[in-house]
């Protein structure tokens, strides 16, 4: 009996030792796995930290905290030799524009680099690079009083238009227009704004490099006697142009006033999509300040709003609305807004439109302009909103975002637009008036008979006009 008890006790002890041994082995195995896991986790965390740090450094480099070589602006030997005046202009130039050197132009990654230009600031090119892009300025697209536009090509065969300014040395006005172009269009991006790829600012050359527009400017197709383009396409061009102006006025961080909206400054790509161009007269203004005072007139006679030509008169962004209204009349009539060869009542298209509208004869006018029946509704809508856009009071003109909505049909137009020519009635009874014009800089007074005020009559412009190549 005692033997059996002893035997059972020994067996129990052996079982306990066996269980303890198994538990100890399992604990050791668990510890080993935990240690291995912690080592692997440490390695993973270390690699992740290194990757994050590397990514942050790379982002900082791209953001400009660590400026790569191509983005450094250095003064060339030519600039060291120029006069003090030129150095002063160079100092005023924003220093955030990157410089592209010859080695980078021919670098294998040029195509990738150029594809990123849309997201970058305008690039500063050298005179030698401009000459290379344009094949020594061999293909002329157009010319004007201030310069010549050449067709060019980037090394990756992307076509460009290069505006080379002439007689710029010591020309303060031209330098101001040059910097206005860069500071305005250089900070914007919209599908209906021409893209500025870069510029050249050097004592020997001032040039602007734009994307190339295959179909030239709107005036080439709008006033074509053959009328090869459907009126519906012209209507779409008007909407695209309105969207671009609305973007400049209402969506940019700083409001941009173009001052020179006209068919010559609306460029067309291969699909006839419009892009607003030529920001040489543009002006930035804070949204808090609703008015800008100009020391002199801007823009093109006939397209510029009346207030633009009144000396020291406050001007708002509504002057662009007026110019766009004049252009809409031209799209409706497919003719210039003023034609002295027509009968007196039809010479000035905006006034003729108002007279016909007031007499409920707008349908007849559209027929005389050659608008097909299927386009009459849209043409009537365009003519009516154009009458609102050219109102003599800037405050009575609509904002461009509303113009877009009206043209697209998502907003109704007012039933009866007010008379846009109320302020002119005293000057032109029976359509012919005697204007007493006094030169503010002289004591003499001149008289002349006119059919419209002088600021409405277009004259030969000096702006560069692009020709279809």
pLDDT digits (tens, 9 = 90+) for 394-424: 999 999 999 999 999 999 987 688 999 987 7
pLDDT at 50 over 60: yes
Q: Decide: pTM greater than 0.85.
A: no
pLDDT at 221 over 80: yes
Q: Are strands 274-276 and 292-293 parallel, antiparallel or unpaired?
A: unpaired
The residue with greater pLDDT, 27 or 41, is 41
pLDDT at position 181 is: 78
* Residue pointed to by tokens 């003719």: 335
The pLDDT confidence band at residue 377, using thresholds 50, 70 and 90, is very high
pLDDT at position 175 is: 79
pLDDT at position 213 is: 96
Mean pLDDT of 188-198: 91
Mean pLDDT of 386-392: 96
The pLDDT confidence band at residue 118, using thresholds 50, 70 and 90, is very low
Measure the CA angle with vertex 158, ends 155 and 159; round to 5°: 110
Is residue 316 packed enough to be buried (19+ CB in 10 Å), middle (13-18) or exposed (0-12)?
buried
The pLDDT confidence band at residue 244, using thresholds 50, 70 and 90, is very high
The residue with greater pLDDT, 370 or 3, is 370
CATH class of 110-211: alpha beta
85 assigned to active site: no
431: Cα separation from own chain's centroid: 39
The residue with greater pLDDT, 60 or 408, is 408
pLDDT at 229 over 70: yes
Minimum mean pLDDT range among 37-46, 171-180, 432-441: 432-441
pLDDT digits (tens, 9 = 90+) for 277-331: 987 655 655 555 555 544 455 678 899 999 988 877 788 999 999 999 999 999 9
Is residue 83 packed enough to be buried (19+ CB in 10 Å), middle (13-18) or exposed (0-12)?
exposed
pLDDT at 449 over 90: no
For the chain, which residues make up each domain, given as ranges?
110-211, 216-422
Mean pLDDT rounded to a whole number for the chain? 76
Query: What are the E-state strand segments in 154-194?
Result: 159-165
Angle between the N-to-C axes of helices 376-389 and 318-333, in degrees from 0 to 180, rounded to the nearest 10: 150
Name the fold adopted by 216-422. Answer: Transferase(Phosphotransferase); domain 1 (1.10.510)
CA-to-CA distance for 269 and 101, rounded, in angstroms?
29
Question: Which residue among the candidates 8, 15, 102, 260 is catalytic per the annotation?
Answer: 260
Rounded percentage of the chain residues whose pLDDT exceeds 70: 66
The pLDDT confidence band at residue 68, using thresholds 50, 70 and 90, is very low
Mean pLDDT of 418-447: 49
pLDDT at 65 over 60: no
Report whether 185 contacts 244 (CB < 8 A): no
The binding site consists of: 163
The residue with greater pLDDT, 285 or 193, is 193
CA-to-CA distance for 140 and 132, rounded, in angstroms?
15
pLDDT digits (tens, 9 = 90+) for 126-167: 999 999 999 999 999 987 667 899 999 999 999 999 999 887
DSSP secondary structure, 313-332, as one string: -EE-THHHHHHHHHHHHHHH
The residue with greater pLDDT, 359 or 309, is 359
The binding site for ATP consists of: 163
């Amino acid at each position: 009996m005692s033997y059996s008890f002893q035997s059972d006790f020994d067996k129990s002890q052996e079982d306990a030792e066996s269980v303890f041994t198994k538990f100890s082995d399992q604990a050791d195995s668990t510890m080993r796995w935990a240690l291995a896991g912690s080592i692997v986790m440490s390695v993973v965390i270390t690699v992740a930290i290194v990757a994050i740090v590397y990514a942050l450094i790379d982002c900082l480099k791209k953001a400009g905290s660590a400026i790569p070589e191509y983005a450094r602006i250095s003064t060339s030997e030519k600039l060291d030799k120029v006069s003090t005046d030129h150095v002063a202009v160079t100092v005023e130039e924003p220093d955030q524009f990157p410089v592209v050197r010859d080695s980078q132009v021919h670098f294998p990654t040029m195509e990738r680099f150029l594809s990123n230009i849309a997201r970058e600031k305008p690039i500063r090119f050298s005179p030698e690079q401009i000459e290379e892009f344009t094949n020594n300025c061999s293909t002329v697209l157009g010319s004007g009083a201030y310069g010549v536009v050449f067709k060019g090509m980037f090394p990756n065969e992307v076509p460009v238009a290069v505006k080379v300014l002439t007689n710029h040395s010591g020309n303060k006005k031209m330098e101001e227009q040059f910097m206005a172009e860069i500071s305005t269009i250089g900070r914007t991006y919209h599908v209906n704004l021409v893209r500025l790829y870069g510029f050249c600012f050097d004592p020997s050359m001032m040039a602007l490099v734009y994307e190339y527009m295959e179909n030239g400017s709107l005036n080439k197709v709008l006033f074509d006697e053959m009328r090869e383009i459907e009126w519906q396409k012209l209507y779409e061009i008007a909407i695209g142009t309105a969207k671009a102006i609305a973007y400049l006025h209402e969506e940019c961080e700083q409001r941009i006033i173009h001052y020179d909206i006209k068919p010559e400054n609306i460029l067309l790509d291969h699909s006839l999509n419009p892009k607003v161009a030529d920001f040489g007269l543009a002006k930035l203004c804070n949204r808090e300040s609703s008015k800008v005072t100009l020391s002199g007139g801007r823009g093109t006679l006939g397209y510029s709003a009346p207030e633009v030509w009144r000396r020291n008169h406050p001007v708002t962004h509504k002057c662009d609305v007026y110019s766009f209204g004049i252009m809409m009349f031209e799209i409706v009539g497919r003719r210039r807004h003023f034609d002295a060869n027509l009968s007196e009542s039809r010479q000035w298209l905006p006034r003729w439109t108002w007279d016909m509208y007031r007499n409920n004869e707008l349908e007849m006018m559209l027929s005389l302009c050659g608008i097909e029946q299927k386009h009459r509704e849209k043409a009537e809508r365009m003519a009516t909103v154009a009458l609102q856009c050219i109102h003599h009071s800037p405050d009575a003109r609509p904002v461009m975002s509303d113009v877009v909505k009206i043209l697209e049909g998502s907003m109704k137009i007012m039933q009866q637009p007010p008379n846009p020519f109320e302020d002119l009635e005293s000057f032109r009874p029976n359509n012919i008036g005697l204007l007493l014009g006094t030169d503010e800089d002289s004591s003499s007074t001149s008289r002349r008979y006119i059919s419209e005020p002088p600021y409405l009559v277009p004259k030969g412009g000096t702006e560069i006009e692009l020709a279809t190549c």
